[in-house]
Amino acid sequence: MSSKKAGYRCTACKTIYDHHPPGHCPKCGSPFLESYEIQDGDKVEGFCFITTAVCQSTGKPDDCFELQTLRKFRDIWLRNKSNGEDMISEYYKLAPQIVSKIDSLPNKENEYELIYSQYIKPCIGFILNRKQDECLKLYKKMIFELKTKFNVSHSKQTFVPS
C-alpha cells in the first residue's frame, strides 16, 4: 500500500510546509510557493511540465520568472477555483505525455518556441495584468490543442476551450 503526503514548498528558500501558508512563505516572505507530494518516501514535485520543457529548451533555469509566475498562478489562484484541483490533476496526467511526444520530434526547439510565443508569454502577461481568467482560458486552449495535435488522451475532458 502506498502512502502519499501533500504539502507546499517555497521556491525561494525551499522550506517545506504541510499546509499552504497564507499568501507567502513565513520564513523568507516569498509569494512563490509550489505544491509537492511525497509518495512512498520519494518526493514528487508539482511541476509545470510543459512550461519547464519550454524554458529548458531555451536554457532558462528552473527558478526563472516564467516558471515562478505560473507556479504561483497554479498554487495560489487555480488551486482555489471550484474545479482547480481536477484541472491540476488532469494536467499532471496529460502534460508528461505531451512533453514526451514533443521531445521525440527532430524540431522540438521550434515547437517549444511556438508554445512559448503563442501561450506561455501571453499567459504571463495576463497574470501580470491580473487577468487570471484570461490566462486560464488560454492555458486550457493550449492543453486542448496540444493533446489533439499529439494524440494524447485522458478520460476527463477538463481542458476544453471555452
- How many angstroms from the chain centroid is the CA of residue 149? 19
Residue 23 clears pLDDT 80, i.e. is over it? no
CB under 8 Å to 117, separation ≥6 — which residues? none
pLDDT digits (tens, 9 = 90+) for 60-96: 987 889 998 998 898 889 988 888 888 888 887 888 8
So where are the chain's domains?
A: 1-46, 48-152
Nine-digit cell string for 138: 488560454
Residue 128: what residue type?
Answer: L
pLDDT digits (tens, 9 = 90+) for 41-63: 434 445 578 998 899 898 898 78
- How many Cβ atoms from other residues are within 10 Å of residue 37's Cβ? 14
d(C-alpha 46, C-alpha 8), whole Å: 9
